[in-house]
């Protein structure tokens, strides 16, 4: 158990509404990631963070923003949800306090449906 919790685990929302997903870790890891998983696309990196207030874009960052105001929390916000953002979202942390381990540990996932 890597001490990662995601909330909410399931959410249904309407097009145009903002949505925030939260990832919380208990082990003081420096590197945190947000992915979306869709059939046929594998996991696509949305944003990642390499420290408090240090974030960078991934492969599919349009329509998403992130914030990391403290080590343990990494928030993903869909500014105005669209149906194309219906997906399962996974948060991950990189093993080792400084990320030296390399292995990613994943949260349980947040299933988002945008109607």
Q: Contact residues for another protein (CB under 8 A)?
A: 31, 33, 35, 40-45, 48, 50, 56, 58-59, 92, 94, 99, 102-104, 106, 108
Least distance (Å) between residue 97 CB and another protein: 13
Instruction: Write b or e for each residue in 26-50: b if 16 or more Cβ atoms lie within 10 A of its Cβ, otherwise e.
Output: eeebbbbbbbbeeeeeebebbbbbe
Unique residue bearing structure tokens 């890891």: 29
Q: Provide the β-strand partners of residue 51.
A: 54
For another protein, the closer CB: 41 or 70? 41
For another protein, the closer CB: 13 or 61? 61
Least distance (Å) between residue 43 CB and another protein: 4
Least distance (Å) between residue 109 CB and another protein: 8
Peptide bond into 66 cis (omega under 30): no
């Amino acid at each position: 158990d890597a001490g990662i919790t995601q909330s909410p685990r399931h959410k249904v929302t309407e097009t145009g509404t903002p949505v925030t997903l939260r990832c919380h870790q208990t082990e003081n890891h420096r590197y945190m990631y947000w992915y979306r998983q869709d059939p046929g696309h594998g996991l696509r990196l949305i944003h990642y963070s390499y420290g408090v207030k240090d974030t960078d874009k991934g492969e599919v960052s349009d329509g998403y923003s992130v914030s990391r105001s403290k080590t343990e929390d990494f928030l993903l916000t869909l500014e105005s949800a669209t149906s194309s953002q219906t997906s399962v979202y996974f948060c991950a942390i990189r093993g080792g306090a400084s990320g030296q381990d390399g292995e990613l540990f994943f949260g349980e996932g947040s299933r988002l449906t945008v109607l």
